[in-house]
Amino acid sequence: MIKLSGVSKSYDVGGEKFFALDNIYLEINDGEFASIVGPSGSGKSTLMHLVGLLDQPTGGDILVDGKNIAHLSDVSLSKLRNEYVGFVFQQFNLINKLTVRENILLPAIYSRKKLDYIPDERARSLLLRFGLQDRIDSYPNKISGGQQQRVAIARALIMKPKLILADEPTGNLDTKTGEEIIKLLQELNREENITVVIVTHDPSIAAKTKRKIKIQDGKITNN
Ligand SMILES: Nc1ncnc2c1ncn2[C@@H]1O[C@H](COP(=O)(O)OP(=O)(O)OP(=O)(O)O)[C@@H](O)[C@H]1O
Ligand SMILES: [Mg+2]
């Protein structure tokens, strides 16, 4: 479970403080399927970066399973992030010089955790599950957008995270392919109890999530 308590994120802009997030209280429980919605510039990505432990707040506390992350060293924080969260982005963020298999294995290569499974076997079974087994040695720029996003989801899953954070995961896909990606995230949530949080502009995608966290001008207006 992730808890934000009075969390702010401010930037100095021309000598003045600008609050991208302002005094946020939010709990995301294990197994939730939620969306973060709001206008451009409202703070959605900033919120996602904080929930995903990619960034630290300038005020307030973030607790992961009751532990205040402010008390963690940089090494412990990146270890926690690597094991706890999988990220999916609008631009897929795959490395074009690496094959599909190598992209999926990257988080496991960077990990310091002793795993009780063989990452390569998990990569293969994820690709099989996503119908991409014959693309394992392809390069990302040789496969379709929908296939790239599936590979990115497999990469997000390689460490068996509790939480998947997806920032506009369908933004670069046509409607039908986007719906398939959301369906896949729904399945992972339902079948494996992975918490899924999707940032989206698209009301039809938000409508598919059980919880809508609405944000405006850095404040949560509804959740
Ligand atoms: N490094 C920074 N310095 C100053 N301001 C920033 C910085 N990063 C973000 N902001 C500002 O914080 C606000 C929130 O940005 P954020 O990227 O979270 O919005 P968003 O809701 O994700 O928007 P979009 O829908 O366009 O992706 C914006 O006004 C943005 O300009
Ligand atoms: Mg954004």
| CB 35 near ligand 1, within 6 Å | no
The percent of residues in the chain predicted with pLDDT above 70, rounded, is 100
Give the pLDDT band (50/70/90) at residue 122: very high
Indicate the number of domains in the chain.
Answer: 1
CA 112 to chain centre: 20
**pLDDT at residue 104, rounded to an integer:** 98
| CB 11 near ligand 1, within 6 Å | yes
Q: Is the pLDDT of residue 110 over 90?
A: no
Mean pLDDT of the chain: 96
Which ligand 1 atom minimizes the distance to the CA of 168? 27
Can you give the pTM of this predicted structure? 0.95
| CB 91 near ligand 1, within 6 Å | no
Where on the phi/psi map is residue 66: left (φ > 0), alpha (ψ -120 to 50), or beta? left
Residues flanking ion ligand 2, Cβ below 5 Å? 44-45
Query: In the predicted model, what is the mean pLDDT of residues 180-200?
Result: 96
| Cα separation, 5 vs 212, whole angstroms | 19
Low-confidence winner among 38-42, 56-60, 112-116, 206-210 (lowest mean pLDDT): 112-116
- What confidence tens digit (pLDDT) does each residue in 71-93 have? 999 999 999 999 999 999 999 99
Q: How far is CA 85 from CA 71, 143, 159, 218, in A?
A: 19, 25, 8, 23
Query: Domain containing 17: what range?
Result: 2-222
| CB 8 near ligand 1, within 6 Å | no
| Cα separation, 217 vs 223, whole angstroms | 15
Give the pLDDT band (50/70/90) at residue 12: very high
80-83 contacts, C-beta under 8 A, 24 or more apart: 80/53, 81/52, 81/53, 81/54, 82/107, 82/110, 82/111, 82/113, 82/159, 83/111, 83/113, 83/159, 83/161
Taking the CA of 201 as reference, the closest ligand is 1
Q: How far is CA 99 from CA 33, 95, 143, 157, 170, in A?
A: 31, 8, 11, 17, 22
* CA 20 to ligand 1 centroid distance, Å: 6
- Domain with 107 in it: what CATH number? 3.40.50.300
Taking the CA of 42 as reference, the closest ligand is 1
**pLDDT at residue 155, rounded to an integer:** 97
Query: In the predicted model, what is the mean pLDDT of residues 128-152?
Result: 97
| CB 20 near ligand 1, within 6 Å | yes
**Nearest residue to 113 (alpha-carbon basis) of 80, 86, 69:** 80
